[in-house]
Amino acid sequence: MGTTTTGEFEESPEPGGEHGPSSQRAPLIRIILADSQAIYRVGIRRVLALEGDIRVVAQVDSLGNLLVAVQQSPSDIVLLEGSLLASAAGSIDDPIADLMRLAPQTKFIVQTLVADESNTVELYRRGVRGIVQRSISPDLLVKCIRKIAQGETWIDNKSITWVLDAYRSNAAAIANPRPQPQLSPKEQAIIYRITQGKKNKEIALDMGTTEQVIKNYLRKIYDKLGVSDRLELALYCLHHHVFSNGADGLAQVKFN
């Protein structure tokens, strides 16, 4: 059975070949393949077709098509060629953030040619759940997909070291003595929700405002505290004991 073209991306056929294990043994893992090389997409799809609990629901060859696919094809995981992110530089401010906004329940695995410290740290910081090299073995790739589908993070020892070093560096920078700025009740309420792991959309809904308002407040908070992202904000709160006197009442702070 061949693939059919749907809009700007390919929708893959139903699994269930006679050689694969029964899909009843485990919850189905739905995957979108995003890769610029057709031969690579075909190869990965054939590898995954042997797994009864994994189904490729769509294939795309560009980041723009992926933005469409994650909205039209519900998925659990996106296997994404890292070069597609690099090619989007300048045209999309933050492709990972945009993808996660469009598909908040989807987990992302990025494939790279070589391990790169700064890129690895940045991708994990932005919420990617796994980074693998394109030379990964089929068995290991399948294991990675299943682990991430179960809610785990796939990270090797070298990447762990890089990430921990980056966290320590951020913590050391944040630890430099400086006057602690005053935060308004709404700013504190937003920070409190961020430390609970909520996304901008959830915070906006919870506080009775729009996602853009929350983004505007976050920019002011970052500038006021001298941090650049959610990770540094969380480290700042931990080091300066922002909620040491309790967070009573912050959950009730609203915009209207």
Please write the tens of the pLDDT for every residue from 61-117.
999 999 999 999 999 999 999 989 876 655 555 788 889 889 999 999 999 988 788
Tell whether 142 and 45 lie within a shared domain: yes
Closest C-alpha among 41, 43, 19, 15 to residue 28: 15
Confidence check: pLDDT of 155 > 60:
yes
Tell whether 120 and 30 lie within a shared domain: yes
What's the pLDDT at 67?
Answer: 92
Tell whether 57 and 145 lie within a shared domain: yes
Lowest mean pLDDT of 85-89, 121-125, 198-202, 225-229, name the range.
85-89
Neighbouring residues of 168: CB distance < 8 A, sequence distance ≥ 6? none
Rounded to whole angstroms, the Cα distance separating 78 from 55 reads 12
Query: CA–CA distance from 6 to each of 10, 122, 166 (Å)?
Result: 6, 33, 42
* Domain-embedded: residue 180: no
* Domain-embedded: residue 163: no
Confidence check: pLDDT of 167 > 50:
yes
Cα 195 from chain centroid (whole Å): 17
- Could you tell me if 84 and 36 are in contact, meaning their C-beta atoms sit under 8 angstroms apart? yes
Tell whether 33 and 138 lie within a shared domain: yes
* CATH for 103: 3.40.50.2300
Tell whether 82 and 205 lie within a shared domain: no
Q: Which domain holds residue 222?
A: 185-252
In the DSSP assignment, the letter for residue 110 is: E
What's the pLDDT at 230?
Answer: 83
- Could you tell me if 73 and 58 are in contact, meaning their C-beta atoms sit under 8 angstroms apart? yes
- pLDDT digits over 229-253, tens only? 888 888 788 777 777 666 667 878 8
Rounded to whole angstroms, the Cα distance separating 178 from 55 reads 53
* Domain-embedded: residue 165: no
Tell whether 100 and 216 lie within a shared domain: no
- pLDDT digits over 3-61, tens only? 333 335 566 555 444 444 444 567 899 999 999 999 999 999 999 999 999 999 999 99
What's the pLDDT at 7?
Answer: 37
Provide the token pair at 57: 């629901």
Rounded to whole angstroms, the Cα distance separating 235 from 256 reads 30
Tell whether 202 and 145 lie within a shared domain: no
Q: Three-state SS for 12?
A: coil
Tell whether 34 and 147 lie within a shared domain: yes
Rounded to whole angstroms, the Cα distance separating 49 from 174 reads 48
What's the pLDDT at 254?
Answer: 87
* CATH for 207: 1.10.10.10
What's the pLDDT at 85?
Answer: 84
* Domain-embedded: residue 42: yes
Rounded to whole angstroms, the Cα distance separating 240 from 101 reads 30
Tell whether 56 and 138 lie within a shared domain: yes
What's the pLDDT at 113?
Answer: 87
* Domain-embedded: residue 126: yes
What's the pLDDT at 176?
Answer: 60
Hey, what's the torsion of the CAs at 67, 9, 115, 94, to 10 degrees?
Answer: -10
Tell whether 125 and 9 lie within a shared domain: yes
- pLDDT digits over 215-229, tens only? 999 999 988 888 888
Specify the number of domains making up the chain. Answer: 2
Tell whether 74 and 152 lie within a shared domain: yes
* Domain-embedded: residue 174: no
